[in-house]
Amino acid sequence: QVHLVESGGGLVQSGGSLRLSCAASGNSFADYHMGWYRQAPGKERELVAHINPSHMTTYADSVKRRFTISRDNAKKMVYLQMNRLKPEDTAVYYCTGAQMFATLKVGRDGYGSWGRGTQVTVSS
């Protein structure tokens, strides 16, 4: 339904900021739940932020008050503003979308749409 491409990852020092972008293509973007997952080596994939079609947001406790997810439906873009980054934020960050939140929450390939990921590395 939607094709997703992330950008904006990179290397940043502890306490720094990055802004990730997700460009979507497809016909029903405005109706999709969108989110950002991250996966670090040896750790489970974690849903860090979610934004629903009504622009309501939720966050994992680990990133709350530091990360902000937003969407621009006219541009078919989703963003993740990451502030006060910590080394434990180091991971591959994936943009994901689904028509239903329950699908997005599964967090596995084949459930919803997934970008290829962008690496975020926070140095200590």
Read off the pLDDT of residues 30-43 as tens digits, 9 standing for 90 and up. 999 999 999 999 99
- pLDDT(85) > 90: yes
> What average pLDDT does the segment 10-36 reach?
97
* Cβ contacts of 63-71, under 8 Å, gap ≥ 24: 63/89, 69/34, 69/35, 69/36, 71/34
> Quick one: pLDDT band at residue 83, thresholds 50, 70, 90?
very high
> What average pLDDT does the segment 40-55 reach?
97
- pLDDT(27) > 90: no
Which value, in Å, is the radius of gyration of the alpha carbons in the chain? Answer: 13
Q: What pLDDT is recorded for position 25?
A: 95
Q: CA-CA distances (angstroms) from residue 49 to 33, 42, 109?
A: 11, 20, 18
Tokens of 3: 């094709």
End-to-end Cα, the chain, rounded Å: 39
> What average pLDDT does the segment 18-30 reach?
95
Q: What pLDDT is recorded for position 45?
A: 97
- pLDDT(1) > 80: no
Handedness of CA 122, 92, 101, 2 (dihedral sign): positive
